[in-house]
Amino acid sequence: MISLHGLTKVFPGGVRALDAIDLTVADGEFFALLGPSGCGKTTLLRTIAGLEIPTSGNIRINEADVTRLPPGRRDVAMVFQDYAIFPHMDVTDNIAYPLRIRKVPRAERVRKAAEVARRLSLADLLHRRPAQLSGGQQQRVALARAIACHPAAFLFDEPLSNLDARLRLEARTFLKRLQRELAVTTVFVTHDQAEALALADRIAVMSAGRMVQIGTPAEIFQRPSTTFVASFIGSTPMNLLPGTSTRGALHVAGAVRAAPAGLGEGDEIVYGVRPEYMGLSETERQDGIPGTVAVLENLGTGVLVTLESGDHLVQAVVPEGSEPALGVRRWAVPARSLVYRDGALLA
Which residues lie near ligand ADP (CB under 6 A)? 11, 13, 15, 17, 35, 37-43
298 C-beta neighbours (distance < 10 Å), count:
10
Selection from ligand ADP, Mg ion, none that 43 binds (CB < 5 to 8 A by kind) is ligand ADP
Q: How far apart are CA 168 and CA 41, in angstroms?
A: 20
* Residue nearest to Mg ion as judged by C-beta position: 42
Q: Which is nearer to ligand ADP, 41 or 112 (CB)?
A: 41
How many other C-beta atoms can be found within 10 angstroms of the C-beta atom of residue 320? 11
Q: What is the distance between the alpha carbons of residues 311 and 248, in angstroms, rounded to a whole number? A: 25
- Out of ligand ADP, Mg ion, none, what residue 213 binds, judged by CB under 5 to 8 A for its kind, is none
From Mg ion, ligand ADP, none, which one binds at residue 286 (CB under 5 to 8 Å depending on kind)? none
Helix (H) or strand (E) holding 135: helix 135-148
Stretch 251-310 residues interacting with Mg ion (CB under 5 A): none
For residue 243, the partner it binds in ligand ADP, Mg ion, none, with Cβ less than 5 to 8 A by kind, is none
Which residues are 175's β-sheet partners?
none
* Residue with Cβ nearer ligand ADP (28 or 38): 38
Q: Which is nearer to ligand ADP, 190 or 245 (CB)?
A: 190
- Of ligand ADP, Mg ion, none, which one sits near residue 39, judging by CB under 5 to 8 A according to partner kind? ligand ADP
**Residues in 24-83 at the binding interface with Mg ion, rule: CB under 5 A:** 42
Could you tell me the smallest distance in angstroms from the CB atom of residue 287 to ligand ADP?
41
Strands 202-207 and 249-252: unpaired
Nearer to ligand ADP, 47 or 337 (CB): 47
User: Kind and range of the H or E element at 195?
Assistant: helix 193-199
Minimum distance of ligand ADP from residue 263's CB (angstroms): 35
Q: Give Dmax (Cα) for the chain.
A: 79
CB of 40 to ligand ADP, least distance (A): 4
Bridge partners for 291 per DSSP: 330
Q: In whole angstroms, how close is the CB of 15 to ligand ADP at the nearest point?
A: 4
Least gap, CB of 290 to ligand ADP (angstroms): 40
Q: What is the DSSP letter of 243?
A: E
Smallest gap from Cβ 39 to ligand ADP, in A, equals 4
245 forms part of the interface with Mg ion (CB under 5 A): no
Between 38 and 234, CB nearer to ligand ADP: 38
CB of 35 or CB of 334, closer to ligand ADP: 35
Number of CB atoms found within 10 A of residue 309's CB: 21
Contacts for 24 with CB less than 8 Å, ≥ 6 apart: 1, 2, 3, 4
Q: Which is nearer to ligand ADP, 14 or 266 (CB)?
A: 14
- DSSP character string of 81-94: TT----TTS-HHHH
Binding partner of 227, given ligand ADP, Mg ion, none, CB within 5-8 angstroms per partner class: none
Q: Are the beta carbons of 113 and 92 closer than 8 angstroms?
A: yes
Residue pair 140/163 in contact by the 8 Å Cβ criterion: no
Taking the least distance from each CB to ligand ADP, the nearer of 17 and 141 is 17
- Give the dihedral sign, CA 156/115/179/185: negative
Residues in contact with Mg ion by the rule CB under 5 A: 42
